[in-house]
Structure 1
Amino acid sequence: MAFDREHIVMLPMIAKGHLIPFLALAKQIQQKTGFTITIATTPLNIQYLQATISSTSSSSNTQSHSNNFDINLAELPFCSSDFGLPQDTESTENLSLKQIGDLCAATVNLEVPARRLILDIIEKEGRPPLCIISDMFFGWATNLAKSSGTVNVTFTTSGAYGSAAFMSIWLNLPHRSTALCDGYFTLPGFPDQSRFHISQLHHYIKAANGTDSWSKFYQSQFSLSTKSLGWLCNTAEEIEPLGLEILRHYFRLPVWSIGPLIPKDALKNSSTSDLRVSRQPAEKCMEWLDSYGSDSVVYISFGSQNTISETQMMELAIGLEESGRAFIWVIRPPVGYDMKGEFRAEWLPRGFEDRMCKSKKGLLVHNWAPQLEILSHKSTGAFVSHCGWNSVLESLSQGVPIIGWPLAAEQAFNSKMLVEEMGVSVELTRGVESVIVGKEVKRLIDLVMDKSGEGGEMREKAGAIKAQIRAAIREEAEFKGSSAKKMDDFLETILSARQEHKSIIADVKGKESAPYTAD
């Protein structure tokens, strides 16, 4: 497929879990087409993206051209203090729930500088961008694209099932209008047998009534996002057939499943040798894992923005120790404390970290660990996860089964799908207010790590999904996977939309210049 020089503008939500998939999508499109890609976001997020690009490139500059990628980073001015937020707040990281809500509401104000950016591109290039790819939380981009003479495509960085459930719940609030049967309710767009439970909803969703600030933001932005030309989804046809069917039929939109957006090296190699990074604590983690046999280590992480309560942390530690299994735990201060602050020994059983260190049974890594490298290591046998979609894809791409502990956003719906549709997970608990006990932690770890029975079945299914993911992204001379084909279809669609728009403009101009004749 040959491509003319075109320009695509991307508008990601200002959260790390969204920025990274947008960057991956930008690189994939640019590598395939040679298009210019501009990612527009706030100043501090520009810095984050620059650092991310620099970490995988030997050179980086303010325009962020690297490894033949023509990816531009454009600043959208944003002053958080104008919206009652702490100064320099440009990400959801380390914010309270109320502050996250305030930040979400404030993002609609990015439309004004985004419009200026589009006008600058039109003035410089003589035509609008080929399309604007925007986050599902930035529904305002649909109107921006329309008024600028281009099209808008929505990109959900989550999976199809989780995105569909999250949107349907916010647009319909069915748990308020439907009689609950033992806490269960049906969800518009989903089969009746796919019932949801009230405990799968975060408390701010339970409290929503359609007039609160959360409802106003989500309902307005999601409604606008459903008016875009179509959706890009970070998943593959083979792994989420039900979710994609729901997303397409309920919202009546074309959906291009172009994922998983995971580094190609991680999907090509059977070992972690090409993935290893040189900085600490990465080297320490890899050396530690090297000392264990295949599928023998439990990896625990709740993502970059989450943690659990003090009592949950204590019981999780007790269960891990009682299980006798080797583990790597990415640990942060519990809920109510500064997640980037100093970790206190009192949050764990007395002497726990010393015992784990001396016995070499457990490695506690504070704040950050090289997750994809850990998951791709032969020793990793299970993942205790918050079920954020990026983490889910990384785990399944390596054939690692999951012990789910959803905490926020659409994570509970991802967990439900992993258990009920994929059969690659069991759920330990939900949220930070639930009560867990060490014995249950041990029981589920033993179940998943057992290479026979249910654990063996989960591992086999995870292995099958690993193969499906690799097949989906393959693009070779005589073979194209489903995700590669969907990317081609997406590009053909937006290029056709450009031609259709040119024809309409030409037709209008022709009619305007035609001589008037009376009937």
Structure 2
Amino acid sequence: MAESKQRIVMIPFMAQGHIIPFLALALQLQQRKDYMVTFVNTPLNIQELRSSLPQDSSIHLLEIPFNSSDYGLPPNTGNTDSLPYDLIATFLQSSLALKPVFRKLISDLVHESCCQPPLCIITDMFFSWCAEIAPEFGIFHAIFCGGGGYGFACFSSLWLNLPHRNTDSEEFTLPDFPEASKFHVTQLTELLRKTDGKDSISVFLRNMLVGWYNADRILMNTVEEIDKLGLMYFRKKIGRPVWPIGPALLSARTRARAGKETGIAPEVCKKWLDTKPLNSVLYISFGSQNTVSASNIMQLAMALVASGKNFIWVVRPPFGFDINSEFKAKEWLPEGYEERIKDSGRGLLVQKWAPQVEILSHRSVSAFLSHCGWNSVLEALSCGVAIMGWPQAAEQFYNVKLLEEIGVCVEVGRGKTCEVRHDVLARKIELVMNETEKGIEMRRRVCEVRDMIKKAIKAEEGCKGSSAKAMDEFLNAALLMRKESNKMGTNGEGSNSKQLCPCRDGAGEQ
């Protein structure tokens, strides 16, 4: 039976925030009986993924060669999680070396299956170079952006246009996205603020973003009903369908398997949370690659005491230190803080990793202080948890902007090094978690958004939600291209299917 299934090849960028939504999408696709998934990545990530997959998974994991030492990176660097910030640009550049070996991998797959190419290749947003490979084999190519439409619309416009360099004002608008309203220079990363567009990472990002225009389709890990503006930007800019198929989220069990071995057991968290009243706990985590300054860790610790709220805090070393090293509570927290929190029973300090999905879905959790990476945003919204945003990097600043517009978030800080006083933090915690007008409205609104998401992924025949319909449209477009290629006899190496697909311009599709 397996031979009759259509193969879908997937390759995410080597970073936890990219691999997780790709894995979630792969698990969704495997549930459809007509498809088989081949999941491609570098050896160290494939090793990790083997322990993450459910035992009954039929996903085929395939290694692609990569030796970090060849590119001036530390030995055995598998993904960005283990890298200091100043080596991220080098790591991005090194990923370009995957292009020729990925082409060979596709060629081998075609020949192994008697010249029947995969139905579709789904690549990471950073691997838009696949648009040069897929047509050689008559394969439909989709880019899957694990982020949201609005956040990456802003990110794309900023890097392509550098509008802040054309004004002396600290505020500016985006020339091709005025609907996004004004931006402030503090919503830019330090690299973006300083670039003149000629440095290596700027060139890499511009080439990557321009490459999106050559893909057959774009998939977004978002929901139409909460992200219309960002989706509109890409549809207008690219001129073909952009399908919101999200949220692509891992189950709590799979997420735990994909998490770090060091951390806290889900059972310990649940037992602690079970002792707390309804909507009384603040969960704090800045993700696997982000942290704040030492002074802000101190201020946050003081704010939590002042607010009087229960909390679970995933602590990591401050900015400037190895993020994967041990957290030294005696150096970075007030004297005796860890012991006092433990004795009072009000707080739980967790090093490195916590079972985030299980925490957010617990009835006692009221709010989430987050860096607002999109995976974390979707997990919070899907659980109906209000967000306190402290963006750190990439498109996180614009995710916060969207979430404030929707009415489910309050921004509490901006960037890695901004200084936020404990009294300001305490007031914002109380604003969101107490029975204030703002707090009540945020909780009402986030429950509405949670219900929108549930409706979007509903997949019952005759009553499908927007994300389920978008997934069907994507797969049908890939099948239509295969049908047209077969009709013209152009399957296999050397074909150029993009000339054959009548739906490439998006006619007749939403």
Residues 1:246 and 2:233 are matched in the alignment: yes
Return the match for 1:140 from 129, 132, 138: 129
- What is the identity, as a one-letter code, of the residue corresponding to 1:147? E
- What is the identity, as a one-letter code, of the residue corresponding to 2:440? G
Secondary structure of the 2:211 match is helix
Secondary structure of the 1:292 match is coil
Asked if 2 retains the 8 angstrom alpha-carbon contact of 1:208 and 1:214, the reply is no
Return the match for 1:326 from 285, 310, 335: 310
Q: Measure, in 1, the Cα distance between the counterparts of 2:264 and 2:177.
A: 45
Secondary structure of the 1:363 match is strand
Residues 1:484 and 2:471 are matched in the alignment: no
Q: Matches of residues 406-425 of structure 1 in structure 2 within 5 Å? A: 406-420=391-405, 422-425=406-409
Q: Which residue of 2 aligns with 1:77?
A: 65
How big is the shift at 1:193?
5.8
Q: Which residue of 2 aligns with 1:230?
A: 217
Asked if 1 retains the 8 angstrom alpha-carbon contact of 2:297 and 2:332, the reply is yes
Asked if 1 retains the 8 angstrom alpha-carbon contact of 2:7 and 2:35, the reply is yes
Secondary structure of the 2:126 match is coil
What fraction of aligned residue pairs are identical, expressed as a percent? Answer: 46
- What is the identity, as a one-letter code, of the residue corresponding to 1:185? F
TM, length-normalised to structure 2: 0.91
Per-residue CA shift, 1:387-432, capped at 9, x if unaligned? 0000000000111111100001110010111112x11101011111
Asked if 2 retains the 8 angstrom alpha-carbon contact of 1:226 and 1:253, the reply is no
Return the match for 1:194 from 151, 161, 181: 181
- What is the identity, as a one-letter code, of the residue corresponding to 1:137? F
* Bigger mean CA offset, 249-258 vs 35-44: 249-258
* Bigger mean CA offset, 391-400 vs 20-29: 20-29
Q: Which residue of 2 aligns with 1:281?
A: 265
Residues 1:358 and 2:346 are matched in the alignment: no
- What is the identity, as a one-letter code, of the residue corresponding to 1:195? K
Q: Any runs of at least 4 consecutive aligned residues in structure 1 with deviations exceeding 4 A, and if so which?
A: 263-266
Q: Which residue of 2 aligns with 1:317?
A: 301
How big is the shift at 1:265?
7.8
Per-residue CA shift, 1:317-366, capped at 9, x if unaligned? 01111101111100011122222322221200111111111111111111
Q: Matches of residues 110-129 of structure 1 in structure 2 within 5 Å? A: 110-125=98-113, 126-129=115-118
- What is the identity, as a one-letter code, of the residue corresponding to 1:9? V
Asked if 1 retains the 8 angstrom alpha-carbon contact of 2:252 and 2:358, the reply is no
Q: Measure, in 2, the Cα distance between the counterparts of 1:175 and 1:477.
A: 48
Q: Which residue of 1 aligns with 2:508?
A: none
Q: Which residue of 2 aligns with 1:347?
A: 332
Q: Matches of residues 32-431 of structure 1 in structure 2 within 5 Å? A: 32-53=32-53, 57=54, 59=55, 67=56, 69-125=57-113, 126-176=115-165, 178-181=166-169, 183-192=170-179, 194-263=181-250, 280-344=264-328, 345-420=330-405, 422-431=406-415
Secondary structure of the 2:74 match is coil
* Bigger mean CA offset, 454-463 vs 247-256: 247-256
Q: Measure, in 2, the Cα distance between the counterparts of 1:380 and 1:162.
A: 26
Q: Measure, in 1, the Cα distance between the counterparts of 2:9 and 2:168.
A: 44
Q: Measure, in 2, the Cα distance between the counterparts of 1:47 and 1:215.
A: 32
Q: Measure, in 2, the Cα distance between the counterparts of 1:451 and 1:153.
A: 46
- What is the identity, as a one-letter code, of the residue corresponding to 1:217? F
Asked if 1 retains the 8 angstrom alpha-carbon contact of 2:264 and 2:350, the reply is no
Q: Measure, in 1, the Cα distance between the counterparts of 2:466 and 2:428.
A: 34
In the superposition, relative to structure 1, how do residues 346 and 90 fare at CA in structure 2: closer, same or farther (>3 Å)? same
Secondary structure of the 1:139 match is helix
Q: Measure, in 2, the Cα distance between the counterparts of 1:109 and 1:141.
A: 12
Asked if 2 retains the 8 angstrom alpha-carbon contact of 1:35 and 1:70, the reply is no
In the superposition, relative to structure 1, how do residues 164 and 193 fare at CA in structure 2: closer, same or farther (>3 Å)? closer
Secondary structure of the 1:28 match is helix
* Bigger mean CA offset, 13-22 vs 281-290: 281-290
Q: Measure, in 1, the Cα distance between the counterparts of 2:248 and 2:94.
A: 28
Q: Measure, in 1, the Cα distance between the counterparts of 2:60 and 2:88.
A: 27
Structure 1 residues not aligned, in runs of 5+? 60-66, 267-276, 508-519
Residues 1:13 and 2:13 are matched in the alignment: yes
Q: Which residue of 2 aligns with 1:22?
A: 22
Secondary structure of the 2:447 match is helix
- What is the identity, as a one-letter code, of the residue corresponding to 2:9? V
Q: Measure, in 2, the Cα distance between the counterparts of 1:410 and 1:369.
A: 23
Asked if 2 retains the 8 angstrom alpha-carbon contact of 1:138 and 1:225, the reply is no
Asked if 2 retains the 8 angstrom alpha-carbon contact of 1:333 and 1:343, the reply is yes
In the superposition, relative to structure 1, how do residues 373 and 265 fare at CA in structure 2: closer, same or farther (>3 Å)? closer
Q: Measure, in 2, the Cα distance between the counterparts of 1:381 and 1:284.
A: 19
Q: Measure, in 2, the Cα distance between the counterparts of 1:33 and 1:243.
A: 32
In the superposition, relative to structure 1, how do residues 348 and 128 fare at CA in structure 2: closer, same or farther (>3 Å)? same
Q: Measure, in 2, the Cα distance between the counterparts of 1:208 and 1:358.
A: 49
Q: Which residue of 2 aligns with 1:500?
A: 484
In the superposition, relative to structure 1, how do residues 40 and 367 fare at CA in structure 2: closer, same or farther (>3 Å)? same
In the superposition, relative to structure 1, how do residues 193 and 337 fare at CA in structure 2: closer, same or farther (>3 Å)? closer
Tell me the number of residue pairs that the alignment of Structure 1 and Structure 2 aligns: 479
Asked if 2 retains the 8 angstrom alpha-carbon contact of 1:301 and 1:331, the reply is yes
